[in-house]
Structure 1
Amino acid sequence: MKNNCKYDIYFAAPFFCQGEKELNLKLLTQIENLGYKVFYPPRDGLVAKEKITSTSSWDFISNKTWVCDTKAIINSKLIFAVLDGRSIDEGVCVEIGFAAAYQKTIIGYSTDDRTQFPWGHNPMVLAPIAKLINSTKMLINTMAELVD
């Protein structure tokens, strides 16, 4: 994939509880140790919770977060989306849809047996995913295959 993207990978994942943060850090570290430049919203984007106290306008913060994250998706070669949980995080769903609209390659990471439907994840989320992986070993092989 040759282009002028600022980032190799946009890391879309829920990041609200300790377990999510630990998984993200583990995966993020493995990806970055492979030499890829990653945009991770809680680290590289706006941290909305910290900005709420400095302004009275949630609309202002929401808009700034949207602009920051969507620009990062546009400026990334590939999207890596963590799909774990009883249902896929709604922010991740939006990031997947936005990335699909820009025809970005999307890798889904799913190790959780719980899904919204008996047959698996929602097809509107799965359809734009180029490759679905379920282990860190697959992660390393897939990154080498799809990013470079």
Structure 2
Amino acid sequence: MERFDHNRPLVYLAAPLFSEAELNFNLALTTRIEASLDVYLPQRDGGKLVDLLACGVEENAAYKSIFDRDLRALDAACALIIVLDGRAIDEGAAFELGYAYAHRKLCFGLQTDPRRLLPAGNNPMIEMPLQKIFRSIESAGEWADSFARSQITL
């Protein structure tokens, strides 16, 4: 958590982080939001399991390290943005959303993909915690800009 300004609100980005496309999308979203707010990006700030294991970290210690770092970041964050793209929501991101909502954090979604698991839309347990679902990286960035301005005036 030392890489963050602490004078700017922190947003936790909950997203799948396994394919090159997912990693690049997450970086693009983070770059846009970081114009106004700090972002905890798990793939960058919490470590990746495959990297820890490749460096020789014992499996249980690697799992615990990632889990503990991410929970500390969720506790420190004022808001969470979950990437909803794909046929189904990433299970780690779904946990992070539930944790953030239970701890009364602001929760938002970003969904650029029209696919949904249910014919009626997203699962209600995913949809209902969200205050808004953004449809583009730019609209999420515009929210970040507006949110940052509102925090300055407080």
Q: Structure 1 length normalisation: TM-score?
A: 0.88
Native 8 Å contact 2:110 2:133 kept in 1: yes
Q: Which moved more, 1:10-19 or 1:91-100?
A: 10-19
Which secondary structure state, in structure 2, belongs to the residue aligned with residue 103 of structure 1?
A: coil
Q: Over aligned residue pairs, what C-alpha RMSD do you find?
A: 1.8
Displacement of 1:108 after TM fit?
0.2
Residue deviations 1:1-51, cap 9 Å, x none? xxx78852111111111211221121111111x231111111111322122
Partner of 1:15: 17
Specify every segment of 5 or more residues in structure 2 that has no aligned partner in the other structure, as ranges: 1-5
Aligned to 1:100: 101
Structure 1: gaps spanning 5 or more residues = none
Name the % identity.
31
In 1, Cα distance between equivalents of 2:16 and 2:46: 14
Q: Which residue of 2 aligns with 1:126?
A: 127
**Which position in structure 2 is the counterpart of 1:26?**
28
Q: Following superposition of structure 1 onto structure 2, how do residues 45-124 of structure 1 map, counting pairs within 5 Å? A: 45-53=46-54, 54-56=56-58, 58-124=59-125
Task: Name the CA distance, whole Å, in 2 between partners of 1:65 and 1:125.
Answer: 23
Q: C-alpha distance in 2, partners of 1:5/1:75?
A: 12
- Shift in Å, 1:81: 1.0
Classify 1:121/1:66 alpha carbon distance in 2 versus 1 (closer, same or farther; 3 Å). Answer: same
Supply the distance in 2 between the matched residues of 1:15 and 1:102 (Cα, whole angstroms): 24
Deviations 1:112-144 (A, max 9, x none): 111110011111011111111102332122223
C-alpha offsets along residues 69-117 of structure 1, whole Å, 9 cap, x if unaligned?
A: 0110010111111110111111110000010110100110001111110
